[in-house]
Every structure is written in structure tokens, then in C-alpha cells.
Structure 1
Amino acid sequence: MSFESTPYKDKKVISIGIVSELTGLSFRQIRYYEERKLIFPERNEKGTRRYSFSDIEKLVEIANKREEGVQTHEIRKEMKQERTKSVEKNVLKDMLRGQFNAHFRNNNNNSM
């Protein structure tokens, strides 16, 4: 996916300092959630972590769940299940779109 086609919420352009200010999380907490594979920042050419607005939203959700006592491995499991559901939903949408396109293409060809 090229940078230009990436939705603004998913562009990895925000420094860890800004993320910390916006979320109220310490640098250490943010890095810990990365170590636990809950978030996946990119690194620029100097090795500096870069986050997206989507990452910030995810970090707030993680922090809220942690305050409720949910363990990081449970959060990771939930996130994996959500990704799986999302992928399945997208596959179903694509299948339906293909069926609709095929149906209407055949109907348009038959009416000529």
C-alpha cells in the first residue's frame, strides 16, 4: 500500500512524545505494548518510532482494558479475533460484490 493511498488515520507520522501526551501513557508503557505485540509502530530512517491515529486509538483502548484488569495476552487474543472477523467480513463483501457484478453483467448482456 503506498503512502498516498493510506487513509490519514493509518499514516505512521506521530512521534512517541506526542502519543504519550495524547494518551497519558508513559514512553515505557507504549514500548511495553509494542513488545507485547499489541501495537506495531513503524520506524523512520533514524530508527525513531512513528505511530498513527489508529495506533493512538488502540493504545487508549488497551489502557482502558488494562485498568479493568484485562491481561495483555487476553487483549492480544481479542485483537486477533477482531482482525479475523474483519478479514472474514471483507472476504464475504468481495464475494457478494463479485456475485452482484456477475449477475448484472449477465443480465445486461442478455438484454442486448
Structure 2
Amino acid sequence: MAHEDHSLKERKVISIGTVRDLTGLSERQIRYYEERKLIFPARTGSGIRKYSFSDVERLMEIANQMEEGVQTHEIRREWKKKEKENENWKKQMLKGQIQAHFKQSRQ
């Protein structure tokens, strides 16, 4: 169920108008954050942007950081750093699981 909840959170089904209403950001601000590579909406065949609940959360986080005076390039750099740390952590966990599996199979 948790995995299903995660995938529902990632579904790109929310219009920019609804995102505007949920976040309090203007459509112009939302498009600006897309231009700055902080948010990545899906596009329909006719070019309409669609967002996920994760995108809405991310936009709210961006807005909070911007209010604190953090620049968009700093936000992007920090997120890339966190993504890299998470990827390294996942690799270490997988390595540990593989090692534990082979130790058990040899006993």
C-alpha cells in the first residue's frame, strides 16, 4: 500500500490553475520555477502542464526558501547534492543486503 501511495503522489494529473490555488503562487511564478529547472511538469499532447502532489510539495518548499532569500540556483544545487547523497545511501544499503544474503547462503 505504501508503494501505491507513493506512485499516486507522483501521478501528473493536476492543472496549473489548481497548483496555483493550492500553493498561493502565481502561474507566472510556477512557470519561472520550471524555467529554472526546479520543477518538471508533464505536458499533454496539446502542451498543457500537469503536476503531481509531489510537485505541489516541492513548489511550496521552493516558495518558502525564496521567502528566506535563497536563490533558485542555490536551491537547485542543494537538491542535487541531496539526490546524490540519497543515491549513495541506496547503493550502500543494496551492497549490505547483497553481502548479508551471500553470507547466509554460505552457512
In the superposition, the TM-score normalised over structure 1's length comes to 0.87
SS where residue 50 of structure 1 aligns?
strand
- The aligned residue for residue 103 of structure 2 is 103
Corresponding letter in the other structure for 1:11: R
Matched, 1:32 2:38: no
Question: Counterparts in 2 of 1:67-106, with a 5 A limit?
Answer: 67-106=67-106
Displacement of 1:71 in angstroms is 0.5
Partner of 1:18: 18
Question: Is there any run of 5+ residues in structure 1 with no aligned partner, and where?
Answer: 108-112
C-alpha displacement of 1:47: 1.2
Which structure: larger Rg?
A: 1
What code does the residue aligned with 2:91 have? V
Report the Cα distance in structure 1 between the residues aligned to 2:79 and 2:104, rounded to whole angstroms.
Answer: 37
What whole-Å deviation, never above 9, does each CA across 1:33-84 have from its counterpart, x for those lacking one?
0000001111112211111111111100000000000000100111111111
Alignment RMSD: 1.3
Aligned residue in 2 for 1:110: none
In the other structure, the counterpart of 1:60 is 60
Q: Secondary structure at the match of 2:14?
A: coil
- Name the stretch that deviates more: 81-90 or 97-106: 97-106
What's the % identity of the aligned pairs? 53
